[in-house]
A = this chain, B = another copy of it.
């Protein structure tokens, strides 16, 4: 018999392995389970009827264009709509341009391909978005994790991390309603960040998917993108990633990069090889959704919905979790980040929870070095209201159980 065929994998691929989260999702989509796992919008809050109406009323030639290929940089009218929208957040298009991407993760991929060689270092918050961490690793980058406190990245820790890695290619941050930490950067920390990248000539990749999901007016004033507060010169070091996934639909796979004009052409060439162009069908709908004022109305509708879920989760946490559990009250977004005493394993809590029909994601998934074993993320965005109390109760029991064997 012939010997087996051996696939000649590239160096990049040979070290890839699937994430823990993929396995967790088996439970998350199980009908009997209460899931705090998925970092996704609520299934029942999508603008389904509005979208159908918008599409139905589009002129025939626009509908036809929705079926066709479009420019690699994106549908021109959508790019203009995004510019108009981002200008309201202080961003200037004298220095920057817009590239429509197939979700913001593709935007982060494009930036990584622009800058990362194997062995390069990326500075990132600890914890950070697992999708970005996995992506950076797929470029064979080293991730230097910089701890945060309740107000954002720690200044001293960032200074030290940079001193250790003066050739780091960029700093990746999520200043608004952080995934998974649930916090928002305060004004001082934003100013520190700007001053720091200016002094060090460091590139900042600002990922801002949750910008619009604030729960009160005071918090809204904090959500201004870092890019929107930078002077013209520093702005050239900042790349901003936005997305329609939280203000319309992840299923549209539509995001945008706001890039310094100097790097736009190379970003476009990379995008060309990735998928030629983003889905025109989604772009046509998203453009009308913005232009016709639906986005504003939709956000007014969903913000209180997520706030209710946050409140119910916090109420249940107060009721069922031991008092030694630490957390920051989220002022927007989808996530509550829980810290246990150092010797308690979140994996044990998770095991207990899964046995009892509840699932969430443990902290080490959000750490490039598998640290944060005593923390976990509760995503309250896509859970049914009436299940929150029961789900948090089970997790509370799990914490007490894990404490016994710690």
A-side interface residues toward B, CB under 8 Å? 2, 5, 7-13, 16-19, 22, 25, 38, 40-41, 43-44, 46-48, 51-52, 55-56, 60, 63-72, 102-103, 105-106, 109, 113-117, 120, 131, 134-135, 138, 169, 201, 203, 233, 236-237, 245, 248-253, 260, 262-263, 265-266, 268-270, 272-282, 284
Contacts and interface: CB of A to CB of B under 8 A. Distances in A.
Contacts of A2: 233
A46 B248 CA distance: 25
A201 B44 CA distance: 51
B69 A13 contact: no
27 contacts: A2-B233, A5-B233, A5-B237, A8-B115, A8-B169, A8-B203, A9-B115, A10-B114, A10-B120, A12-B113, A12-B117, A16-B266, A22-B272, A40-B68, A43-B64, A46-B68, A52-B55, A68-B250, A68-B251, A102-B279, A105-B276, A106-B275, A131-B272, A249-B281, A251-B279, A253-B280, A281-B282
A16 B113 CA distance: 11
Contacts of A109: 273-275
B250 A69 contact: yes
A67 B138 contact: no
Given A7-B262, A13-B114, A18-B269, 6 more contacts: A7-B260, A22-B272, A46-B67, A67-B252, A103-B275, A253-B279
A18 B62 CA distance: 28
Given A52-B56, A276-B105, A43 B16 contact: no
A216 B131 CA distance: 48
A279 B252 contact: yes
A72 B22 CA distance: 9
A256 B291 CA distance: 33
A348 B128 CA distance: 55
A105 B271 CA distance: 11
A283 B55 CA distance: 17
A9 B68 contact: no
Contacts of A38: 69
Nearest to A56: B52
Contacts of A249: 66-68, 281
Contacts of A113: 10, 12-13
A277 to B, nearest CB: 7
Across chains A and B, which 5 residue pairs bring their CB atoms closest together, nearest first? A251-B280, A67-B249, A46-B67, A253-B279, A135-B273
B279 A70 contact: no
A389 to B, nearest CB: 24
A260 to B, nearest CB: 8
A216 B397 CA distance: 69
Contacts of A102: 102, 253, 275, 279
Contacts of A274: 105-106, 109, 274
Contacts of A48: 60, 63-64, 67
